[in-house]
Structures are given as C-alpha cells and as structure tokens.
Amino acid sequence: MKQARKGVDRRAFLAQCAGAAALSGVASRAFADDPLDALMDDGRAGQFGQDFDQASRTVHMPKPTAPMLSPATEQFTQKAIAAYDEIVARGGWPTVPHVDELRVGNRHPSVVDLRQRLSLSGDLDPNAVGAANDIYDSYVEAAIRRFQARHGVTVDGVLRASTLAALNVPAAIRRDQLKVNIARLKTLTTNLGPRYVVVNIPAARVEAIENDVAVSRHTAVVGKVDRPSPDINSKIVQVNFNPYWTVPVSIVRKDLIPIMQDKPDYLTDNHIRIFDPNHKEVQPSEINWYSEDAVHYTFREDPGDHNSLGRIRINFPSQYGVYMHDTPLKNLFGEDSRYDSSGCCRVQNVQALVVWLLEGTKGWTSDKIEQAIKSGDQVNVNLTKPIPLHWVYVTGWSASDGVVQFREDIYSRDGLGAPAIPATTKL
C-alpha cells in the first residue's frame, strides 16, 4: 500500500484494479491462480505425504468449485458456528509458541502445540497429533497447506509469521467472526439467480457462479484501507476492449497534482492527455499545478498495454464510479495483501471471465474476443442479458464443501479487534 510521489511509480496514482489476459478453459486455468486451487493441485499430485488421503479420513479438502456465496452459504456457516461453539466450550486451542520458520523435516518443541492446534481446527487428522511429536513431517505440512488456503495465506506448507499469526487468533474471535458474517449472509444469499458474479473484498477474490458452481475463480486486487472498495449490488452490462481511462477527480486531486509538481513530464511519459471543458486538448505546461486548476480538466489515458485498465474493462451501473478491469501491474496478484487500488477491482485472468460473461451475447466467441483485444481498437460490447454482480464484505464463511474460511478484516468492519495478519514475504 505504498504511495510514491516521486518517479514514475504507477502505483502512486494509476494503482486502480486488476486482471491478466490469459485465455484458456474458463473452468480450468482460471482456478490455478487461487490458493484453494493450488492446494487441490497439490493433493492430486500427491504432495500431502504418503497415503495422506487414506490416513486422514476426518480431514476434508476444499473443493475449488464450491462458491463462496450461494443459497447454502448461510446454512453451512451456521453449522460452522455450532462447531466453533464446541471448540470454545472445550477451552479453544493452544497458542503456538513463536518460531521464525518451520518446514518439513525440521524438529522443534513448538510442533507439539502446532499439531494440537491444527487438529482442533480440523486441519490435521487427530491420529497424527501424537505421531512424530515434535517433527514437522509431511502430515503437518499438509495440514499447514490446508490452513493457509482457508485463511488466504500463500500456500507453501511453510510456517512463517503470517501463518503463525493466523494460527494464534483465539477460537472465540473466530467464532464471533462467523457470527458477525451471518448477519451479512442473510441479506446476500437470497434471490441470487442461476448466473452471477461475486467479488469478496476481504478475500480479494472474484467468482463466476453458474447453477451453484464456481465455474471461474480469479485472484483480485481491491481498494486500499483509505480508499475502500464499496459494497455493490448491480448488473454487468458492458465490456470494453482496449479502453481509455478517464482519471477520477479524486485521484487528480490526491495523486496527480502532487506527482506533476515533482515530475512535469509524467503525463506525457504515461500517454495521458488533457482536455478542457470544450474538449480541446491542452498541454501540461498550460496548467498551474500548484493550484486547484487541474480538477477542472479531463485527463484521459490512451489505450494500450501501458493503460491503467489494461486491455479490458467490465462496466456496471453504480453510484461509486468503480469498475472491474485488467491491469499492467500483474505482479500485485502474487501478494497475500492485495489491497492496493483506489476502489476498483483488478481481475487476474480477466479475459477468461469475459469469455464467460459474453457466452449469451451473439457473435462473441473466444476467438472474436481475442481478435478484439489484439486489434488495439476500442470496442464496446453490450451484454445481451446483464449478469447480476455482488461486491460483498465477508470475512468468515463456510461453503457447500463444509470447509470454514477466514480473511483479515481489512477495513475493520467486524468490530472484534482481531490482530492484523502480516503479509508473507515471497521468495
């Protein structure tokens, strides 16, 4: 969430939202970007340790097709609350003592408490609690992977600060977190329809849902703490290929003016043109950047790979002036803490999502979409049938697979005072 004023750091004011542009099977490669799906891939590849599936009869792995938001989410979350009530009544789970890092093959006294902690939350089969005792074996590693996936932490099976912090959130707080979210889910899980898109802001994740199945899942980047993404109930009505980006007045005031004071060539270097109220183009040198004059002009970024919206923008009516889009800043999708936009939602592999969105719009096959992007021309496509869209704030839930998930209360809306989870440093 850095905000640089000097240099050509686009995150200073062009950090708006996200996506990639890799087209393949909507229901296959779209899943590869999500921690839960990475976990499932590891399971299929036999990375959970010898005979893990056979030995762990009580541990259920997440299903990548189980949608976060469906008519059944409230019911399954109520069941999760009952289960966590029992855990709290039994005294909760132990605190795992601090350790800098643990990975498979290590031996440490903290592993004893770690095994018990993972067993009580259902991540480690009870039969493996006493086995090997203080050795971080393949069973512990597999349980950590499952835990990391449930908490939105990079799934690598290594115990680091971010995973340890999530492990040491008390059971009572996790239970209360589920209770807070039940009130939200009651208003969200009715009249969803057969086909809709969900952006879960705390999870920084997008799902395309059809007949209660998540057919496409995408990592996202959402609003910063001081520029939060809003709750939205709307309908996706249009897709723009190779869009222009018109800089919002709020970003002009907060970011653009200070940048231009330090770097007068910034707009020219970044293909951003200025137009006066009569639509006449003016030069940056004609504006007094030490006044409020700039807010009276329109700033428009040309289409192209450099464009802050990338190659695709997804439009929907809302009072907030936000949208979903591609981004040239693909590296942001690899971070655990993906709260870096000015309110919009950047979508990884957004082209696959657009293929699904345009399935009912005549003539817009995957090949036609690919051609439109490669043309470099601005093309606007109205959906024949608008698709319901829900931007939601849900930090704790249980989907139809029965796996309980939690995310950090990034905007402090839960009111529980849970500690912030530090981001994992990716190697």
Choosing from 17, 151, 344, 390, which is the catalytic residue? 344
State the amino acid at position 215 in one-letter form.
V
For the packed helices 110-120 and 138-150, what is the interaxial angle rounded to 10 degrees? Answer: 50
State the amino acid at position 279 in one-letter form.
H
Choosing from 17, 151, 218, 325, which is the catalytic residue? 325
SS3 for 212?
coil
CA separation for the pair 5, 388 (Å, rounded): 38
Q: How far is CA 194 from the centre of its chain?
A: 23
- Count Cβ atoms below 10 Å from residue 180 Cβ, excluding itself: 16
Per-residue three-class SS string for 31-71? HHHCHHHHHHHHHHCCCCCCCHHHHCCCCCCCCCCCCCCCC
Q: Is the dihedral of CA 177, 159, 38, 115 positive or negative?
A: negative
State the amino acid at position 246 in one-letter form.
T
Bridging pattern class, strands 213-223 and 298-301: unpaired
Count Cβ atoms within 10 A of the Cβ of residue 100 and give its class: 0-12 exposed, 13-18 middle, 19 or more buried.
exposed
From the list 21, 17, 69, the residue with the least C-alpha distance to 324 is 17
Is residue 344 annotated as part of the catalytic site, yes or no?
yes
Angle (CA) 141-221-35 rounded to 5° is 20
User: Looking at the annotation, which residues are catalytic?
Assistant: 325, 344
